[in-house]
Chains A and B, each alone.
Chain A
Amino acid sequence: MVRTGRRGLTRTTVLGAILVLFGISLSVVALAWIDPAASAALGVATLGRVNLSVRTSLAIIGFLCCLGGAPAFPPKLHRFARFTLVPAALLAVLAMLIAAASGRSLDLVGVMKASLRMSTPIALGVLAGIWCERSAVINIAIEGMMLSSAAFGFGFFLWSGNIWLGVLAAILTGGVMALLHAVLSITFKTDQIISGTAINILAVGASGFLRRAYLVKAYFVGETLPIVRIPFLSKIPVIGTLFFEHQPIVYCMIILLIATHIILFYTRWGLRTRAVGEHPLAADTVGINVIRTRYINVIIGGLIAGLAGAWFSLETVGSFEDLMTRGKGFIALAAMIFGNWNPFGGFLGSLLFASADAIQIKLEIIGVTIPPQFFDMTPYIVTMIVLAGLIGRTTPPAADGKPYEKQ
């Protein structure tokens, strides 16, 4: 995938240039302007805390970023650039954290744990997207599926009194919305992006209607799904708190991640799905029922999106607010493209986008005031940048978006 000998302005060169410039300016700013006495304390959960001199650490990181970006320039070193750019970018993020935490103490493990937690809805959205798109049905209605599931799941919880039934209701709502999308896209062969948009609008209307008609009258419940600590594993020093001390849907996400990967690439169903997505005509000739496969996959995707909706209202907030999904469904699509339509790649993408949110929250907690709108914007800007950098390097399923006519 790396083209040796490619001349001119490539993406690697641009990224390398950005890193080098960033590194230089960082070091200069650090050495010239930052108070030598300023220090930030970075904690690693129970292991302890490290007091860093902001000035020195930023200067060092600046230098390392330059080093990391440099291999992008001479063509012979392009091969190494691939390995140095990513760590350098991570260091840049670390630098921003240190700068923001100056004079205060920031728990790194806390940031990572929050990132994992907040990546759950996006990762679930990615999985939902993968199930649909791998069988060649574009699904931009993930946002709408999440929103309506959040609303109806919460509503059912209020009505039944049982939060787990609420989760079930949310999952089923996602499935129903997906069924609608499937009918419109597969049977009526509507343009899939338009039917997806219609479902998003329907979700806004239906969830808002439900909220004003029924949910507002209920008391603010505030009950959320309990945190489940896995018996032995959660006692392990750092990894324990990071991975084994979460609410149920986070665990579901990880399980579904692995399950999707296994099913998609190691089972017959997955093979059929991918065949339908790449070359439906060939699949049909071999005897696979293209329409039925697509229907089932889209509905499964909807069920997963429904679980994501439950995360919003039942696991995180404890009630339903208008438009509470706030574009996470669309970010999930970007993460899916980032991951090249693979579950683990998409998960990495969701972590990327979620960490912007997580960092903002943790910084707010320790008292750093950045205008909320700026941090709010970050996931969306990052999405655009990442997307711009990746198109052309990613391959969607070949038949993505084309309705299938039974021959």
Chain B
Amino acid sequence: MPAESGEKGPGPARRFIIAWTRGVSVFFVPVLAVFTALLIGAVVIWTSGHDVLAAYRGLIEGSLGSPRAIAETLVLLTPYTLAGLAVALGFRCGLFNIGAEGQFYIGALFSVIVGFGLHGLPAYVHLPLAMLAGAFGGALWGAIPGLLKAKIGAHEVINTIMMNYIGVRIVEYLVKNQLLDPTSSLDRTRYILPTAELPRLIPGFRLHAGFILALIAVFVVFWLLWKTTTGFEIRSVGANPTAAKAAGMSITKNFVLAMTFSGLLAGLAGTGEVLGLNHNLPAAFVSGYGFDSIAIALIAKSHPFGVMPAAFLWGALRNGAGLMQVRAGISVDLINIIQALVIMFVAADEIIRWLYRLKPKEEITEVVFTRGWGH
């Protein structure tokens, strides 16, 4: 509330405390949201008759308890970061990209085809080519709903969800038929050539160079959104499309750009998995990164620098879930429940603020996520 003229506003010390509380509370809310979700998760474990302490001890040990565990957490962090960036970028433009899953698959598909299809190329040509192919695949899968939204106004939520189902089916069909490796008992494609592999970072661990890619992507997205005109336009369209349009920005162009970049990032996530981790594309390519990345983007408040810590948290949760299952006999679905609760608490942060008696939000620039059916 602006101070009335003639009255002195709060002194500098007070202002500092207010600003710090406000800043901290922005950071606090996601942390508290996760904490509350874990608490409720504990209640669920307890009511279903399992050992809560063993479960959570298993969770922590499984995710952070040894160098191998940490490496595995980082392995999971890589696709989560890229997919989280994808969704966050979409949010910044006011678009809800639930299609990260489909874009992930198609990116993986394109990269694996280039990975085993092109022979005789040196590694420094083959690998970038494969990554580009994956990025292109994802970008394509994101551009289609983006175009539909831009040109016709069809809402991206349904279209991206449909594209997910379609993308998964296309990949499944191709892997089981045209791309099938006849020598394997599992339904998967042939292995990619060694020249297209993303190298392992530490011998003996599964952590691969995709991690570096994810790190770079964080900075690239930050640079794109805050240091370029395009990024400024994207953010403006996201914050207030009417004003942006009045200022002469093309809403359609920015929608398409945002969805394409978003798809590109998600496609890179799939590429990283194929080129760095599996070195092939199995038909039962379980991902589920689509929904996880939504939660990550929300926790990160759609800011690139927040995505990596959020992705680390998520990777830790997923990685630790395996040991938690072994130790306490809980199914991994609990993580899905916790995940959903986190999304709820972060998105409806008024609940958290009320629960923990934090100061109410005051005019903090809020990222507007979506706008109805887009009419």
Contact = CB atoms under 8 A, between A and B. Distances in A.
A212 B331 contact: yes
A395 B153 CA distance: 12
B372 A194 contact: no
B165 A190 contact: no
Contacts of B375: 395-396
B214 interface: no
B233 interface: no
The 4 closest A-B pairs by CB, nearest first: A205-B336, A401-B372, A202-B340, A208-B333
Contacts of A202: 336-337, 340-341, 344
Interface stretch (B156-164, B220-228, B271-279): B156-164
Nearest to A395: B375
Interface in B146-189: 148, 152-155, 157-159, 161-163, 165-166, 169-170, 172-173, 177
B343 interface: yes
Given A191-B370, A193-B369, A202-B341, A391 B348 contact: no
Residue in A198, A213, A395, A400 whose Cβ sees the most chain B Cβ within 10 Å: A198
Given A195-B347, A209-B331, A396-B372, A373 B173 contact: yes
Nearest to B98: A197
Interface in B90-123: 96, 98
B359 interface: no
B165 A193 contact: no
A190 B340 contact: no
B351 interface: yes
Contacts of B295: 201
Q: Which range contains the number of A residues in contact with the other chain?
A: 35 or more
B294 interface: yes
Interface stretch (A95-103, A306-314, A381-389): A381-389
A400 B170 contact: no
Contacts of B373: 138, 337, 396, 400-401
A373 B172 contact: yes
A330 B161 CA distance: 8
Interface of A: 138, 140, 184, 188-191, 193-195, 197-202, 204-206, 208-209, 212-213, 327, 330, 333-334, 337, 371, 373-374, 376-377, 380-381, 383-384, 387-388, 391-392, 395-396, 400-402
Nearest to B342: A198
A213 B332 CA distance: 11
A206 B336 CA distance: 8
Interface string B343-371: 11001101100000000000000000111
26 contacts: A140-B157, A188-B351, A190-B348, A194-B96, A194-B343, A194-B369, A198-B340, A201-B336, A201-B343, A202-B344, A204-B333, A205-B333, A209-B44, A330-B158, A337-B373, A371-B173, A371-B177, A376-B169, A377-B169, A383-B158, A388-B152, A391-B152, A391-B153, A391-B154, A396-B373, A401-B371
Contacts of A371: 173, 177
Contact of B347 (A191, A206, A334): A191
Given A138-B373, A391-B152, 13 more contacts: A190-B344, A193-B96, A198-B341, A200-B291, A202-B341, A205-B333, A205-B336, A205-B338, A380-B162, A384-B163, A391-B153, A392-B152, A401-B371
Contacts of B207: none
Interface residues of B, number: 49
B347 A333 contact: no
Residue in A195, A327, A388, A402 whose Cβ sees the most chain B Cβ within 10 Å: A388
B148 A201 contact: no
A380 B165 contact: yes
Given A138-B373, A380-B165, A199 B348 contact: no
Interface string B44-77: 1000100000000000000000000000000000
Nearest to A392: B153
A284 B80 CA distance: 45
A383 B162 contact: yes
A377 B340 contact: no
B148 A388 contact: yes
A380 B166 contact: yes
Contact of A333 (B158, B172, B294, B371): B158
B350 A189 contact: yes
Given A193-B157, A384-B159, A387-B158, A377 B170 contact: yes
A396 B348 CA distance: 25
A138 B96 CA distance: 14
B217 interface: no
A97 B338 CA distance: 47
A384 B172 CA distance: 20
